[in-house]
Structure 1
Amino acid sequence: MSKSMWQGVIPAITTPFAEDGAVDHAFLARHALWQVEAGCTGVVPFGSLGEGATLSFAEKIAIVRTLVAALGDRAPVIPGIAALATDEAVRLARACEAEGARGLMVLPPYAYSTDWREMGAHVRAVVAATGLPVLLYNNPLAYRTDFAPEQIVDLAAEFPQIEAVKESSGDLRRFAAIQALAGDRLVLMTGIDDAIVEGIAMGATGWIAGQVNAYPAESVALFERARAGGYAAAKDLYDWFLPILRLDTGPKFVQLIKLTQQCVGWGSERVRAPRLVLDGAERAAALQVIEHAIATRPGTAR
């Protein structure tokens, strides 16, 4: 089992939309290349940040096709696999594998949250549908399904292809709990932008990142400093970055991160309904944070 896919900074890449509302594939390809050229180690399309719930099945497959063609062998494409129904998630996993995805990030169903018997059956069906390596995503705040450390480890024991867990419960104690049960069997990753340094201190070796969409070089530098020297080595860069990273943690994180991209000249704030672009006092407050970060941006992230 190779765990190299789950190391470093991996953008939860946003889905760009053209003025007519269609996916902007040309920009998507450029954006993915920019991320990888800055040192990112892969891309995760149509997760929560990628507005996966608003994309059709065909749009998702087209996105994977575009990213695989753009990145080639330079970095893996690791789609987020979620759907309203288990059968659709299974079909999506198989279709993504056929298009050249090299791993899968498996999520709970979008709308239905229940007990472990049903959620476990859903995950098992999706994982068994392909031979690809799997990152299991635990985000109970977003999906109202909480995979306990014991359940995660049981799934990994059943399916060797489950190689990593993206632990985004917000409870850093989960990292220690998983390691106590699994040892080094599972790669630990985090998906919470404003707890990345803390996550690394607890054993995370990968970061599914959000504001990396606007600041890839800084994200990679922050990760590398924290991994090499802990909080002390990362503090100066973290202090600058934290106000921007905190935009990843609220209900409108998609709009906020896309607005950040627009402000730095790498994307548009366009989102797909029911989301709407920010306006009024909410937009003004976000712009104040973003513009301050731009004005005080370190001369070099390295």
Structure 2
Amino acid sequence: MSQHVWQGVFPAVTTQFKRDLSLDLEATARHCEVLIQSGVSGLIVGGSLGENQTLLPQEKRDLVAEIVKLSAGRVPVVSGVAEMSTALARSYVQDCEKLGASGFMIMPAMVYKADREEAMHHFRSVGAATSLPWMLYNNPVGYPVDITPQQFAELASIPNLVALKESSANTRRITELRLEVGNRYAIFVGVDDLALEASILGIDGWVAGSGIAFPTENQYFWELTRAGRWDEARELYRWFYPLLKLDTHVKFVQYIKLAVQETGLGSEWVREPRLPLTGAEREHVLKIVHAGIANRPRLERR
């Protein structure tokens, strides 16, 4: 999986559970098949949206194995790496490489707020444990570690670090990264409601969240940006925007899983400490999702 393959829509897939909260690999695979058929360029399993931290170690490996089998080489399968320690992360990437994963999206070590030196050591060490290409997930909003453009320049000597997911919610970073490191990395936007702005500034891909509930529209919007059809992209974005903002709330997992359920692509069940939405909050999200469904635009591919 060379660097040029890291382009396009790589949706972050939810991990589906049964009502008793046991792992539902079949339902997860069904959703992944719909996403593949929509035209995505890759799949990311076990990310933040995939509730990585609530999965048991063997469940994570079973999930990767199942989706690798489903994909059968049609699209690359990338696994999120969100372990509590550097040693566990190293072990995980080695196991997933044996299972047939195509690459990784590596996050900082969970819980601990690493300083600059510790964060850089973690990424270098985990990246060195695998021969597969990987993406560094920079999300200082969700995980209080920020990798700056200057730090990405320092990491440029790592041959298999080929991409970065920029989720700082600061679109200035895209231009700053291009000025600092040029085209050294494939840059993916990781904040749904900045997808249009980031596309204008020049990105290579999108780790999509909310769009997994509306995969056809999500892919079509991306294609509009690639073709420079900005007026059409802007019009579609205005319909999409309330849905995309479901990705930017602390309960984004519950919000997006509810949207996935309402579009018939999965269920809303989440593992504790998360709980399903109730009351006015649930009704608010349902109103947004149902409005999106009712007003789905007619798409005309060229």
SS in structure 2 opposite 1:137? strand
Taking the aligned partners of 1:23 and 1:258, their CA distance within structure 2 comes to: 15
Q: Is there any run of 5+ residues in structure 1 with no aligned partner, and where?
A: none
Taking the aligned partners of 1:250 and 1:19, their CA distance within structure 2 comes to: 24
Partner of 1:96: 96
Q: Is there any run of 5+ residues in structure 2 with no aligned partner, and where?
A: none
Q: Structure 1 240/190 Cα, relative in aligned 2: closer, same or farther at 3 Å?
A: same
Amino acid at match of 2:21: G
Taking the aligned partners of 2:107 and 2:255, their CA distance within structure 1 comes to: 23
Partner of 2:233: 234
Partner of 2:129: 129
Q: How many Å apart are 1:230 and its aligned residue?
A: 5.2
Partner of 2:119: 119
Q: Please tell me whether residue 63 in structure 1 is matched to residue 63 in structure 2.
A: yes
Taking the aligned partners of 1:173 and 1:301, their CA distance within structure 2 comes to: 33
Taking the aligned partners of 1:156 and 1:80, their CA distance within structure 2 comes to: 21
Taking the aligned partners of 2:274 and 2:173, their CA distance within structure 1 comes to: 31
Amino acid at match of 2:105: M
Q: How many Å apart are 1:301 and its aligned residue?
A: 6.3
- Give deviations 1:19-66, integer Å, cap 9, x for gaps: 221111111111111101100111111111000011111110000000
Partner of 1:276: 275
Taking the aligned partners of 2:130 and 2:120, their CA distance within structure 1 comes to: 17
- The ranges of structure 1 where at least 4 consecutive aligned residues each deviate by more than 6 angstroms after the TM superposition are none
Partner of 1:173: 172
Instruction: Report how many residues are paired.
Output: 301
Q: How many Å apart are 1:142 and its aligned residue?
A: 0.5
Q: Structure 1 213/301 Cα, relative in aligned 2: closer, same or farther at 3 Å?
A: farther
Q: Structure 1 301/27 Cα, relative in aligned 2: closer, same or farther at 3 Å?
A: farther
Amino acid at match of 2:91: R
- Give deviations 1:67-98, integer Å, cap 9, x for gaps: 00000110011001121111111111111111
After superposition, the CA RMSD in angstroms is: 1.2
Taking the aligned partners of 1:231 and 1:146, their CA distance within structure 2 comes to: 31
Taking the aligned partners of 1:189 and 1:299, their CA distance within structure 2 comes to: 27
CA contact (8 A) 1:197 1:230 kept: no
Structure 1 segment 1-302 matched on structure 2, within 5 A = 2-157=2-157, 159-229=158-228, 231-300=230-299, 302=301
Q: How many Å apart are 1:231 and its aligned residue?
A: 3.5
Q: Structure 1 299/210 Cα, relative in aligned 2: closer, same or farther at 3 Å?
A: same
Amino acid at match of 1:71: S
Q: How many Å apart are 1:212 and its aligned residue?
A: 2.3
CA contact (8 A) 1:218 1:301 kept: no
SS in structure 1 opposite 2:142? helix
Amino acid at match of 1:142: G
CA contact (8 A) 2:8 2:40 kept: yes
Amino acid at match of 1:252: K
Taking the aligned partners of 1:294 and 1:186, their CA distance within structure 2 comes to: 36
Taking the aligned partners of 2:184 and 2:282, their CA distance within structure 1 comes to: 44
TM-score with structure 2 setting the length: 0.97
